[in-house]
Every structure is written in structure tokens, then in C-alpha cells.
Structure 1
Amino acid sequence: MKDPHSTRDIGPRVGTPLWLYMVSAVVAGTGVLVVSGLGLGLDHLSGLVGEPLVWVLLCMIILGELRPVAVRGQAMDGGSPTSLPFTLAIVIYYGLPVAAILQAVAAVVAGFARGHAAHRNAFNAAQYTLSLGVADAVLRLLQPALARFDLPTGGELVVVALAGVAYLVVNRILVMCAVAMHERVPLQQVLFKDLRQQLHINAVLVSLAPLVVVAMTYSVLYVPLFAFPLSALHASALMLVRRDHQANHDELTGLANRTLMTKRAQEEISHARQRGGRVGLLLLDLDRFKEVNDTLGHATGDRLLETAAGRLVHSVRPGDLVARLGGDEFAVLLPQVRDTDAAAEVAVRLRGALGEPVRLNGVDLDLEASIGIALYPDDATEFEPLMQRADVAMYVAKAGRTGVESYDPGKDRNSTARLSLFSELRRGLAEGALEMHYQPKIRLSDDRPIGLEALARWRHPTRGLLAPGDFMPIVEESHLSRAFTSQVLDATLARTAQWRADGFRLPVSVNLGVRELLDPALPATVAAALREHGVPPGQLVLEIGEHALIVDTEAATAAVHRLRDLGVGLALDDFGTGHFTLAQLAGLPLDEVKIHESFTAHLDDGSGRGDTVVRAAITLVRALGMRATAEGVQSAALAEAARETGCHAAQGHHFSRPLPPGQVREWLLAHDGGAVADTTA
């Protein structure tokens, strides 16, 4: 499968170091091929054309070129060709000229079959010839009489192994020099990449060469039998690579995803730290993309994203990485960049490429993007803060409609202390520093607990246990939200499963913010967590803040319906703090609406303000078949007032503060007698 975003088939400009290198390799390879062929004699070579064994070997080499053993981290059409045992065997059996000719023909045929450019096919044929030439020299030097053996001796096997090592070393150096120049990275950075995997695979392939020679000696019919084990090796490796590719690439565009972007960025920052260079990170957000989805549908929106992805990939340098982070947000990693001005030039070029009109479904569309730039080490020395600062710059560009903005501390609302807290939180998540506390929810008709709300606490190394208000804004405004939500779900459902085993089947609520709700992976994450802990979907309630539903109403509504399909409970949190309308509420499959404490607090103040608003809200909620819960009930008087206004349930310090997990069971026993909670309305 050819990588649609590969730029290796774009020919190097004449006169560049890569062009000179490739031309030199082709000339040298051609020279070795011609000289060795003349030394053997054209008559002898032409006589080999009539040998069936030669044609069988050519077919096996072509098959081996088309079915390489793929390696994780490479394109699925890359890896170690399974042609190696046959070409090395031909060097032993027939000599260099025959091996080089057959391998060159196979490389060109396979290259064109894959759609590779002519310059790439010529270089591959040449580097194979040069590598085989070195292997042949080792064989001639150490074992001049090595040929047509039936049972290889120990010494002969050592010579074959050394020839194979020589071939592999030269082959890797020749190829990686071209890759390094193409991607504009230091040679050592690519030379040792995936080296351990390559060594294991190629050791197996080289070890087969003597067996191929034995098969060639006995019968031409034995040679094709090697196709079966080599095909099995190819298939098993390809399966692993496909899984790795799916885990690290966006399904729609084929670009790197957030996981791969994070990994590559951290690697490049490490390399830059060693060499004293700079790394650039560009975050792009497509402007008015939502309008395309709303007007022309999601299918057209997907095609537009695919178009944008292709334009971005072909507008950056080889070695730069383009990723789709989700939705209409992309990132571009510049492993080597001179300064902010150079990064800005790339950003302007990207905007220009995206700005070319796109015609989809008979409609001409104009793509525009807002781009934020941050540089290592100028703006941050770690990836997560670098991403956060590029994010800040992108939103400055979007708000000011300037198109491109570099990070400016003067425009960043985040203080140094806040950024420090961000880094500490990232480490805390990695080290499992989150703790969950649980606040009971009480049914007002009989004061029995009917649920628990999970509230995260962060055990800070120096500041102690921090409440959500101290760190949740950082989570909601950063790219930590997915990891945070995953940990909260895992901890909450693990504890819920324990309580369930003890006979307490109360539903437990988990809060979702804007990023979490709009994350396409959320339904799968929730479903996987429920399966892992054996908790029925109905025992999990997801609380969605009113603000999360207002930011992007259509996308949020679709997300809520996807969550409903899982069978989990759904609640609208903080009702009354935004501008959520009756029509919007009626269109959502909610079970519960939680009245914000700013209204609950006025229920017993005599002003009538809270009473009127809450009664109106409850009337609305009941008419829609939902339950109403009063938040922030801090006194018996407020609890009584909430009961009189018709609230189904209430939460607040009057009933209980959020409890550590170890205290929940005792509290439930004290307030419910250990019975299984009745959670019906």
C-alpha cells in the first residue's frame, strides 16, 4: 500500500546535494554492472536466458520486492524485501553480474508496479548493485571457490554470513544517506532508526541464502517453495504494522494523529537539545469549517478535510510532520527551523496552499486557516507547554483574524505559575496523582441516597490535595482533557464495581467538559471502560455542563445522542448559567437537569427570585419527562425549600461533603441501612 502523503517520489532539484548523490550512485552502480558483465562475457550471460532456474529466481526476486517484511514506524510498502535470500544465493551460485541484473530488473518492475518515480527506481537498482558488489567482493576474498555446494560447512556459512552483513551495511548506508538528505536531518538520526528490528529480520533473511543455494543445486522446483514461509513472514509483519499504523494515524486523512505527533515532537525536541537547534510547532484551525458541515453535510466536510490534508503535506519540506489532531484542527512539526520568521514563512505558505479554491458537489469553497506558531526552546522547553503556547497563538490569530501569529507572552493570559502548574499536572496524570471523592445525591421525598457524583482531586506534591477549581480550567483549556477523562472514568468505574459487589447499585456521575464531549473517541472510551470494569451502562451518568452544549450546539447534540446509544444516563449540569433554550433542551435525550446553586441559594432568602426561577425550571423539566436536582443545598432550610418547589433530588454540604472512597460505604450504610438503593423517580 503506497503512502499517499509520501514525498519521496518528488524528484530532487538539479544541482542539489541529493540530486548529485543520486546521480553519483546511479553512475557507480551502472559502472559496476557493466564491468562485471563484460568480465563474465556476454555469450555466457545470453546463455543463461534459456535456463528455467534464472526465470524462477527473477520471479521470486520480484515477488520479494513487492512483499517486504514491514517494520513499525515505516510506510506499509516499506521494510526489508524478502528478495534478499535469492539475490545473495545468486551471487554465490552464478556470480555478481547475474545477481545484479536480476535484482535491478526486479527493483524497476516492482517500483513501477508501486507507482514510484523513475529517479527512485534508478537509485534503488543502483544501490542494490553496489551492495551486491561489496558482498561479492567479500565472498571472493574469503572463499573464492564457494559455489554449488550441497551441504555447507561451518566455514562456508560464516563467509556467507559476513557477505550478508557487508551487503546490509552498504545497503543501509546508501539508502539512509539519501533519506537524510531528502528529509534534511542528520545521518545518525535515520541510520540507527528501527535498527534492532531490521537486524532481526535481515538475520533471518540472510540465513535462508545457503538453503536457497542448496535448493538451486538439487532442483528448480524446490526454489518456489520458499515463497510460503516468506509470505507468512510478510503477512504477519504487515498485520502488526497495520495495527500500529491505525493506532498512530487518522482514519479519515491518513495523517499522523495526536499520539504520533506527540511522540515525534518529543523525539525532535530531544535531538534539538543535543545539537542546539530549534523545533517549530504550528497549530492550524480551519476557519468557518462548521458552516460547510452545516450547509453541505458531513460527507462534504470530510472530503474538504482530505483535500486540506493533501495540500498541507505537499506544502511542507520532507521530514516535516503533518498531523490531524481532531475535528478541523491540524498540526505541523518542523524538526529544524532557523527562527520564528522562517516558521512564519512556512505558515504563510500553508495558508496560501489551503486558500486555493476547492470545488465540491458543484460548489466552489474557499479554505482559510488560523495558524499559531511556537518554537523550542524560545517559547517552551517541553512538548506539552509548546503545544499549549502554539494553541494560544492560534486563538490570537483567530480572534484578530490575522491568519498567522507567533506566540507572544504579552498576549497570553496564562501566568508563569499557571504554566508551571500545567507541567506539574501533566506529570501528575502520568504518575496517577488523581484521587476521586464522591458526593451523595439525595432524593428529597424520603432523604435516601440515590446516586453519587465523582469529583476529582489532585494530590499535588507540595500543595497537598487540590480541589477541581484549582486545576480544572487548565484541563479544559489544554490537550490533557482526554487523558484526564480516561483516568477519571477508570477510577470511578473501578470503585463503582466494588460498591456493586457490596450490594450498592447507585448510579455514579462523571462530569464532562467541552473538549471531552466533542472528542470523537469519547463513546468508544466510555464503552471500553464499562466493559473493562463490568459495570452496566445504566449505572454510569455523564453530566454535561450547559456551556459545553452552547459552544457548538449541533456537534454537542450529535455527541449526546451517540452517548445515549451506549445506554448511559445523561444529565445537564449547571442549568441556568448560560442561554440554553427550551427548544434546545427538548431536543436532547436527557434524564436529569441539575439547577445551578446560584439559583438554589435564593430559595429561602424571601426575595422570591430563586423560588420563581426554580419553579419555572422544574415545570419545564417535568414537562419534558426529566428529573430536576437542586445543587448547592447547604442547609436544612434550603433542602425544605427545594422539596417544596418540586425538586426530585438535591446535593450539597447539608447532606454530605464529597467523601474519600473509603468513607462512602460507611456513609451509605448509615443513611440507607445497607439496602440496595432504589434509583427510580
Structure 2
Amino acid sequence: MNIETSLIPDRRRLLSELNRKIHSAQKNNTLLALIIVHLKHLREINNEFGYEIADKLLQELFNRLESLLQPGDFIVRIGDNEFALVLSNLNGIGQGIIAANRILGLCDNPMEISGQLIKIKLAAGVSIYPDHALDSEVLFKHADTAVTYARRNQDGYMIYSDIHDHDGTTTYVMRTELEEATINDKLEFFYQPKIHLKDRTIAGFEVLARWTSNSLGEVKPDTFINLAEATGLIAPLTVKAITIALRQCKDLLAINSNYSIALNISAQILNDPDIASLIMNTISIWCTNPSQLILEITEGAIMSNPEASLNSLGQLHNSGIKISIDDFGTGYSSLSYLKKLPVDEIKIDKSFVLNMNEDKGNANIVKSVIDLAHNFNLNTVAEGVENEEILNELERMGCDVAQGFYIARPMPHDELNPWIMNWGN
């Protein structure tokens, strides 16, 4: 483990070491995280306790940060109240998020310095190679940008995202408005029906979030979901989405016990140890049968941190909630993990379904996924059904459920009942 034991600020050494780590990550096809940690209110600590105690506090903070490192990681002081940590050999961004949370955990208890108990506050900014930059200078700039936003917005940590513009104005506005929209129920939710292929009856609905910013207009879902992940809003946004969907569909689910609603969840919230209880509390408030809620997560998200995913998904599944692997076939999950994961269904990515009648290769993939799922006693859902020919072919292949524009486009809640009545007729 390479540790900078001196507290003399040394940004040049950081960049040199970062270059070496990037070269190694490129060679080994791994990720690395640069985390800049900012100690807040150092001036006030100096004024209240004196410079000697403040220096000892910085040394103790350095030691505690050092204790979080793994072999191959690196730490160096880069400013009066800032440290940089380089985490090597990562398999996914989720590990960088976990590290940031562990760093912030150092604030949980006061530090005892020369008999004085001092409560500290930290901010952290995270940038990931190669997702956010390919060289040390830009990676450092992005981590510095992220920690600046974390300090400014009173957030514990922030992950740099490519949605940041050169001065951060757009991102700052979006983040502020998204938080306000989440708190004040200004997000819109649309529902896309799914049907059983065997008898064409309604299986349920996928819930899709939409957001129109006051200043920026309609924002693409991928953009505001990435922003929510980068700014720590993803957990409250997820719980809010589940709350609104259960509230809007309460009567529908009560009358039709075979209906379900499905929502996408982020890999990031699987790292939150409280997420299962938060979701279950929401379900109990609206008196919903847990089995009528399906949580969809992509296979790539699961495999970014399979052990954490296994634990969180296990808690949710044991509570009665159904788990679906979304966009199956586009990621890199292995059969060994498919066997271990508490999964109820596989959702076949629309890129294979859309033109499967013209592309024999895609048709073979769809049939193989259906057979694979059934061998594991899992249901299959095909998305991207846009004509009757594909619908009939999926039924012939043995697919269980389908959704797509041919069946229905996503619609607001107040259009659901008329559509249901029309479909039944």
C-alpha cells in the first residue's frame, strides 16, 4: 500500500501517482476512483481550539482515511483542508460510492484530540476512470468540481457526471429543481400496460417517471436519473415514485389482485442498508400486497456489485416483492449469478425484439433467453412489441408477457381505466 505519511500538501505527487494508476487500470481493464475529501470549518476549528490541536486533528483524519484503503490504494494531502484518495482495481462505480459513504461515516462520532471532543464535517467529490476522464489532469478537475458542488449544496458527497457543463450552472439548476420536484410531487408518472400472451389478459403496468424542469423544459429520464444518482437524490426519488404509483393504483390493485406495477430501480440504492425497510413501509401504508410490486434492475447494475445486490435484493424478495432483470442480454451477467440471485422474471431487451422477424439472429437470442428463463423457473417479459406479427411470434416461442407500442403507449394515470375497459371489450 502506497501511503503519503507526510502532511505536506503535494498535488504534483498526486498527479504523478494518478498517471501510474491510470496506466495500470488501462492495462488491467479495471476502474479507479479519485476521491477528494474536504474538511469543513477548519478556520473555525483553528480559532476555537488552536493550531496545534487543528494540526493533530488533520493527522488523525489522515490516519482514519488511510485505514479505509486497500492494497494498491493511495492517499495524499493536496491542500490545507483537503486530501485525495486514489482507489484502484474497482469493478464498478458502486464501489466508489461505497467508499465515499465510508469516508463520510468518519463524521458519525466526534474525534478526541488532546482531551477535546471535536465534531467534524466532510464533503467528498468522486470521479471515475475511464467513465469521467482518461487522464489525470481532467480526472482531478472533475473530482474537484464534484467536491465543490458537495460543499456548496450541503451534500455529503457528489459523483461527477458528464451532465456537468463547463461552469456547472445547468447542473446546479437541475439539481435544485429536481430536489424540489421530488419533495413537492412535481414529477409525472406514466403507465405502460403489459399483457399475458397466452390469453391476452392484462398483466400489469410499468411505471415511467417524467420530469419537466421550470427553466430547462422536458428533461430526458436518463439525464435526471443520472443526476439523482450523482447528487444523492436517487433513494428519495425511488421511494417517492413507489409512493405515488401505489397511491394512484391503490384501487386498481385492490380490485384486480393479478395486476402488478413495475418500477426500475438504480444499482446505487442497493447499497443503502435501509432501502428494503423504506420500500416495505411504503407498501404497508398503502395496504398493497408486496407481490404486486415488481422492481426492475439491469443485469449490468447487478453485476457492478453482485454481493451487495444479492443481499439487498434478497431482503426485498423475502418481503414478497418480485424482482426482474431488465434489459437482459445487453449486459454481462453469468449463469452462476443468475442461479444465485432472488429473481422472478427476465425482461428481454427491446433491441432484440423490435426486428426479430427480419433478423434471425435476434429471433434466436429471444428464443434462447425464453428457454433459459423457463429452465430457471422464471417468467419472461418482452418489451418493444410494435406489431401483431411479433406479438404472435413471441406467443409461439412461449414468452409469458409482452409490452410495447402495439399494445399501448405509456399513459397518465387518469387514462388507465378507460384503456382497461376498452381492452376488455
By the TM > 0.5 criterion, same fold? yes
Q: Select which of 146, 153, 160 maps to 1:383.
A: 153
1:656-675 aligned within 5 A? 656-672=408-424
CA distance 1:570–1:311, change in 2 (3 Å)? closer
Match of 2:329 in 1: 576
Give the residue type in structure 1 aligned to 2:174.
L
Match of 1:540 in 2: 293
Given that 1:282 and 1:333 are in contact with CA atoms closer than 8 Å, whether structure 2 keeps it comes out as no
Q: Select which of 157, 161, 164 maps to 1:414.
A: 164
Residue 520 of structure 1: how far off its partner (Å): 1.1
Given that 1:633 and 1:654 are in contact with CA atoms closer than 8 Å, whether structure 2 keeps it comes out as yes
1:179-578 aligned within 5 A? 181-182=48-49, 313=111, 321-322=120-121, 332=122, 382-383=152-153, 387-388=157-158, 391-392=159-160, 414-415=164-165, 416=168, 417-503=170-256, 505-578=258-331
Match of 1:647 in 2: 399
* In structure 2, distance between residues paired with 1:576 and 1:412: 26
TM-score by length of 2: 0.66
| Structure with more of its chain in strand, by fraction | 2
* In structure 2, distance between residues paired with 1:591 and 1:619: 15
1:144-159 aligned within 5 A? none
* In structure 1, distance between residues paired with 2:255 and 2:105: 54
CA distance 1:287–1:450, change in 2 (3 Å)? same
**Rg: which structure is higher?**
1
CA distance 1:464–1:414, change in 2 (3 Å)? closer
CA distance 1:469–1:634, change in 2 (3 Å)? farther
Q: Select which of 334, 340, 364 maps to 1:612.
A: 364
C-alpha offsets along residues 543-588 of structure 1, whole Å, 9 cap, x if unaligned? Answer: 1111211101111112211111111111111101111111211112
Is residue 633 from structure 1 mapped to residue 385 from structure 2 by the alignment? yes
Residue 459 of structure 1: how far off its partner (Å): 3.3
Residue 445 of structure 1: how far off its partner (Å): 1.5
* In structure 2, distance between residues paired with 1:602 and 1:484: 34
TM-score by length of 1: 0.43
Q: What is the DSSP-based 3-state SS (H/G/I as helix, E as strand, rest coil) of the residue aligned with 1:486?
A: helix
| Structure with more of its chain in helix, by fraction | 1
C-alpha offsets along residues 22-53 of structure 1, whole Å, 9 cap, x if unaligned? Answer: xxxxxxxxxxxxxxxxxxxxxxxxxxxxxxxx
C-alpha offsets along residues 467-511 of structure 1, whole Å, 9 cap, x if unaligned? Answer: 523422222333111111111111111123132345465111111
Q: Which runs of 5+ in 2 are unaligned?
A: 1-43, 52-63, 65-79, 92-98, 125-141
Residue 629 of structure 1: how far off its partner (Å): 0.9
Residue 333 of structure 1: how far off its partner (Å): 5.1
Given that 2:194 and 2:202 are in contact with CA atoms closer than 8 Å, whether structure 1 keeps it comes out as yes
CA distance 1:509–1:412, change in 2 (3 Å)? closer
Given that 1:602 and 1:609 are in contact with CA atoms closer than 8 Å, whether structure 2 keeps it comes out as no
Give the residue type in structure 2 aligned to 1:664.
L
Q: What is the DSSP-based 3-state SS (H/G/I as helix, E as strand, rest coil) of the residue aligned with 2:249?
A: helix
CA distance 1:457–1:412, change in 2 (3 Å)? closer
* In structure 1, distance between residues paired with 2:214 and 2:203: 35
Q: What is the DSSP-based 3-state SS (H/G/I as helix, E as strand, rest coil) of the residue aligned with 1:535?
A: coil
Give the residue type in structure 2 aligned to 1:644.
R
CA distance 1:516–1:305, change in 2 (3 Å)? closer
* In structure 2, distance between residues paired with 1:307 and 1:594: 37
* In structure 1, distance between residues paired with 2:180 and 2:86: 27
Given that 1:374 and 1:386 are in contact with CA atoms closer than 8 Å, whether structure 2 keeps it comes out as no
CA distance 1:307–1:380, change in 2 (3 Å)? closer
Q: Which runs of 5+ in 1 are unaligned?
A: 1-176, 185-252, 254-278, 291-300, 323-331, 335-370, 393-410, 674-681
Given that 1:538 and 1:567 are in contact with CA atoms closer than 8 Å, whether structure 2 keeps it comes out as yes
CA distance 1:495–1:654, change in 2 (3 Å)? same
Aligned residues with identical type, % of pairs? 24
C-alpha offsets along residues 119-152 of structure 1, whole Å, 9 cap, x if unaligned? Answer: xxxxxxxxxxxxxxxxxxxxxxxxxxxxxxxxxx
Q: What is the DSSP-based 3-state SS (H/G/I as helix, E as strand, rest coil) of the residue aligned with 1:641?
A: helix
Given that 1:547 and 1:578 are in contact with CA atoms closer than 8 Å, whether structure 2 keeps it comes out as yes
- Equivalent residues, number: 326
Is residue 622 from structure 1 mapped to residue 421 from structure 2 by the alignment? no
C-alpha offsets along residues 416-453 of structure 1, whole Å, 9 cap, x if unaligned? Answer: 43443223212222332112111111111222211111
* In structure 2, distance between residues paired with 1:307 and 1:671: 53
Residue 638 of structure 1: how far off its partner (Å): 2.1
CA distance 1:534–1:461, change in 2 (3 Å)? same
C-alpha offsets along residues 495-535 of structure 1, whole Å, 9 cap, x if unaligned? Answer: 23132345465111111111122221111111100111111
Residue 657 of structure 1: how far off its partner (Å): 0.8
Residue 387 of structure 1: how far off its partner (Å): 3.9
Given that 2:110 and 2:119 are in contact with CA atoms closer than 8 Å, whether structure 1 keeps it comes out as no
C-alpha offsets along residues 201-257 of structure 1, whole Å, 9 cap, x if unaligned? Answer: xxxxxxxxxxxxxxxxxxxxxxxxxxxxxxxxxxxxxxxxxxxxxxxxxxxx9xxxx
Q: What is the DSSP-based 3-state SS (H/G/I as helix, E as strand, rest coil) of the residue aligned with 1:477?
A: helix
CA distance 1:628–1:384, change in 2 (3 Å)? farther
Given that 1:577 and 1:596 are in contact with CA atoms closer than 8 Å, whether structure 2 keeps it comes out as yes
Match of 1:603 in 2: 356
Residue 463 of structure 1: how far off its partner (Å): 4.8
Q: What is the DSSP-based 3-state SS (H/G/I as helix, E as strand, rest coil) of the residue aligned with 1:593?
A: strand
* In structure 1, distance between residues paired with 2:417 and 2:344: 26
CA RMSD of aligned residues (A): 4.0
Match of 1:168 in 2: none
Residue 313 of structure 1: how far off its partner (Å): 3.7
Given that 1:458 and 1:466 are in contact with CA atoms closer than 8 Å, whether structure 2 keeps it comes out as yes
Give the residue type in structure 2 aligned to 1:618.
I
* In structure 2, distance between residues paired with 1:654 and 1:375: 43
